[in-house]
Chain A
Amino acid sequence: MSDNFEKKENYAGEHVDVLGATYEEGKPTGKGIGRWAHKLEDKDDILYYLRTAERYWYGQEGEKS
């Protein structure tokens, strides 16, 4: 558990300790970071993605208005 407490004022005007962020700060690392399309592993994945993500061109959905 983090010991990252912030001092805040509650509705009664009393000072209270509030638990702050507990996540570990950091930046993603590694080659190819951000290359989201690599999450699509095979042809089925790719075609499913195209038919949903690019649905107005390659899916069943027509244009909305």
Chain B
Amino acid sequence: MGPEQKSICPATIEMLKKAGTDGIQTAFERSGDLRPCPIGSQGTCCKICAMGPCRITAKKKDEQEEPLGVCGANTSTIAARNFLRMIASGAASHSDHGRVVAEVFNEVAQGHGNGYEIKDEKKLYQVAMDFGLDIENKSAAELAKEVGKLALQEFGKQDGQLTFIQRAPEKRQALWKDFGVIPRGVDREIVESLHRTHMGVDQDYKNIIKHGTRTSLADGWGGSMIATELQDIMFGTPYPILSKVNLGVIKSNMVNVIVHGHEPVLSEMIVQACQDPEIKALAEEKGADGINVAGICCTANEILMRHGIPLAGNFLQQELAIITGAVDAMVVDVQCIMQSLSSVAACYHTKLITTSPRAKIAGAQHMEFIEHEPLESAKAILKEAIENFPNRKVKPHIPKDEVDLVAGFSHETVNYLLGGLFRASYKPLNDNIINGRIRGVAGVVGCNNPRVVHDNAHVTLVKELIANDVLVLQTGCSAMATAKAGLLVPEAAAKFAGPGLAEVCETVGIPPVIHMGSCVDNSRILMAATALVKEGGLGEDISDLPVAGAAPEWMSEKAVAIGHYFVSSGVYTVFGVSWPTLGSEELTNYLFDSIGKDLGGKWAYEPDPEKMAQMMINHIDEKRKALGIDKARERVLYDMDMRRELETQ
């Protein structure tokens, strides 16, 4: 299979050709050489004890007895355990990110920010009110100390409920309470997930998935939301900002520093340190025109949203950025970082620098990010990159592709854009959903996966949705894919959106595809969905809304955690690529159907993005019908006779 069959992104295709010429193997080739395990990919390989691993296949028609593992576990139990472990790992990843942010926040609150500060007092007061603090009689500095302490306690709580649960619609909270899935503490639910899936503990697939619900809610309405909110307070709540995306943002005459991973605590400081006169002078001394910071994955999204720092690319472009020969340092923190970066970097002059004690890579240079000396850590890393600039081995080959995008749509900014300062509101959005100009809202998020054509499912799905008047909210690598396709600019509305959605986008001045941030910022989508409910006219719960979610190119456990907290919050959620429980028909039927009776939301699986779009649109239409807004109604202007007629009735 040639590069043209592996991606729809022209820069990716160009760099895959260069990788071939340079003799570099990438994830694209490795995925072709390595077939997925047919049993593991369906969720029925159990390796949680030394009696196995037990690789169980579903019962065939001619078989009398159900296939069982050595301990007697059936396919439903095994697949449910594996599914819960994916949720737990995803929730742990987002939440450990949140914990690091909370720890840094506490340092700032105690007056040891060393470069970090409280940038958004509004968000601080907001979160302080969530925690029930007396905001009238306390200063911002006093509140920050209390918020920091309480936010950190959310992780270790043993009982009660997570604070941000109370942000959800009232009916949703009642449903969670009745079903017994309100999360107590973030860590508690994750630890219990690992206990329940140990050999010989929870062996009822519905009960296992029920704890998956509780754990995923501890992520979406807990760890992830804490990360988003505290980051907003420290680094600023995003507002619309123009930037560029794709490998063309790498500049041959500059020191290129690519930040990659997920946590913004270091990358925020790198952005700040770039402005330091000493650092600028050193870059000039080495013959560079300056320092160019660009990002990969969600670290990129974080600094894009708040500073407009350009995106070099999404998950599957991390190796390709190095293959340009122009990356002087790739600075990584945590999550979605391929180990292969080390060997690819060794073929060029690129320094691969790991910064987190939780994520070292053999062969990489480790420069630990010291949180109480953040600016000094960032400067030291930048100096390594600058010193490496003269060591370029080959003439850089950088694709020309770079595309404009507008990002920075937080829930708060959407609220402001639609209502203004006097009375910010989601009402215009609700009104336009009710009158049918906007058919519904879709959240399209998630990763890249080399098992499918890079970016194709994201772009095809989103184009199909907006053409059918569905407003799309995005985060993560999915947003980068559609940004590269030119969908994240206001002009895209006239070109790609249906007439109703285009009219609304033109009036408000927004793109038809709204970039809401990194993968922890899926919590912003939860808030947007809640705002739609609370504004009124579209039912009493998220499950009543004409909305749907999708991760068409997912690959990570974090995606499963996100998907499950959306399902648990009442959203119909469709995944592409493959589905990790297909080895158990019973469990799959539960997740795809009857879980809806418990939670309002349910899962679906469809690898074809056009069919996926149709499934989501069908769901949106069903919800519109249930709300009684499925038929277009002509607006009638009443004359005086008609008014009198009304009054006499």
Which residues of chain B in 595-624 are interfacial with respect to chain A, using CB atoms and an 8 Å cutoff?
none
The listed residue (A35, A39, A47) touching B125 by CB distance below 8 A is A47
Stretch at the interface among B44-52, B81-89, B196-204, B233-241: B233-241
Complex formed: what's the CA distance from A39 to B539 in Å? Answer: 33
Select one of B135, B413, B422, B531 contacting A47, CB under 8 A: B135
Q: For residue B421, which residues in chain A have a CB less than 8 angstroms away from its CB?
A: 36, 39-40, 49
Min Cβ gap A63→B in Å is: 5
Other-chain contact of A56, B419, B423, B534, B537 (Cβ < 8 Å) = B534
Query: What's the A-B contact tally at a CB cutoff of 8 Å?
Result: 71
| Residue in A closest to B424 when the chains form the complex, CB atoms | A53
Say yes or no: A46 contacts B121, CB within 8 Å.
Answer: yes
Contact A52 B423 (CB under 8 A): yes
CB nearest neighbor in A for B166? A57
Given contacts A34-B241, A50-B129, A52-B424, whether A65 and B419 have CB atoms under 8 Å apart is: no
Residue of A nearest to B539 (CB): A65
Q: A50-B126, A53-B424 are in contact. Are A37 and B536 (CB under 8 A)?
A: no
Decide yes or no whether A58 CB sits under 8 A from chain B.
Answer: yes
**A64–B535 CB distance below 8 A:** yes
Q: Are A35 and B239 CB-contacts (below 8 A) given A50-B122, A50-B129, A52-B424?
A: yes
**Contact call B239/A49, Cβ cutoff below 8 A:** no
Binary per-residue interface labels of chain B (508-547) against chain A in the complex, 1 for a CB within 8 Å, 0 otherwise = 0000000000000000000000010111110110000000
Question: What's the Cα separation between A52 and B121 when bound, in Å?
Answer: 17
Nearest Cβ on chain A to B312's Cβ, whole angstroms:
24
Residue A6 is within 8 A (CB to CB) of chain B in the complex? no
Q: Is the CB of A37 within 8 A of B120?
A: yes
* A57 in contact with B167 given A34-B241, A64-B534 (CB within 8 Å): yes
Would you mind naming 20 contact pairs between A and B with Cβ atoms under 8 Å apart?
A36-B413, A37-B416, A39-B421, A43-B125, A49-B122, A50-B126, A52-B424, A53-B412, A53-B415, A53-B423, A53-B425, A54-B412, A57-B129, A57-B167, A62-B170, A63-B169, A63-B170, A63-B536, A64-B537, A65-B539
On chain B, the residues within 8 Å of A62 by CB distance are: 170
Q: Are B534 and A63 in contact (CB under 8 A)?
A: yes
The proximity string for B residues 388-420 relative to A, scoring 1 for CB distances below 8 Å and 0 otherwise, is: 000000000000000000001000110110010
What residues of B have a CB within 8 angstroms of the CB of A50 in the complex? 122, 125-126, 129
Chain B residue with the shortest CB-CB distance to A63: B534
Other-chain residue from B122, B241, B408 in contact with A40 (beta carbon distance below 8 A): B122
Q: How far is the CA of A46 from the CA of B140 in the complex (A)?
A: 12
Least distance between B133 CB and chain A CB atoms (Å): 12
A54 touches B415 (CB 8 A): yes
> Hey, which chain B residues are within 8 Å of A37, CB to CB?
120, 122, 237, 239, 412, 416
Most buried by B among A43, A50, A64, A65: A65
The chain A residue with its CB closest to the CB of B426 is A56
Count chain B residues whose beta carbon lies closer than 8 angstroms to a beta carbon of A. Answer: 35
Contact A63 B239 (CB under 8 A): no
Bound state CA distance, A53 and B423, in angstroms? 6
**Assembly CA distance A53 to B413 (angstroms):** 11
Residues of A within 8 A of B126 (CB): 50, 54, 57-58
Q: Which A residues from 17 to 57 make CB contacts under 8 A with B?
A: 34-37, 39-40, 43, 46-47, 49-50, 52-54, 56-57
* Alpha-carbon separation in the docked complex, A25 to B239 (Å): 23
Give every chain B residue within 8 A of A36 (Cβ-Cβ).
239, 413, 416, 421
Q: A31 → chain B, closest Cβ, in Å?
A: 12
User: Within the assembled complex, what's the spacing in Å between the Cα atoms of A58 and B307?
Assistant: 29
Tell me the smallest distance from the CB of A27 to a CB of chain B, in Å. Answer: 11
Measured between alpha carbons, how far is A62 from B170 in the docked complex, in Å?
A: 10
Provide the bound-state CA to CA distance between A19 and B419, in Å.
Answer: 31
A46 to B423, CA, bound (A): 13
A39 to B413, CA, bound (A): 13
* Minimum CB distance partner of B119 in chain A: A37
- Please, which residues of chain B bring their CB within 8 A of the CB of A52? 422-424
B536 touches A46 (CB 8 A): no
Question: Using an 8 Å CB-CB cutoff, how does the interface string of B165-208 with A read, 1 for contact, 0 for none?
Answer: 00101100000000000000000000000000000000000000
With A and B bound together, what is the CA distance between A50 and B535 in angstroms? 15
Q: Complex: how many Å from CA A43 to CA B408?
A: 24
User: Which residues of chain A are within 8 angstroms of B125 by Cβ–Cβ distance?
Assistant: 43, 46-47, 50
Closest B residue to A37 using CB positions: B122
B446 to A: closest C-beta gap in Å:
28
Residues in A with CB closer than 8 Å to B122 are 37, 40, 46, 49-50
CA distance A18 to B123 in the complex (A): 49
CA distance A56 to B239 in the complex (A): 22
Q: Are A53 and B534 in contact (CB under 8 A)?
A: no
Chain A nearest CB, measured from B140 CB (Å)? 8
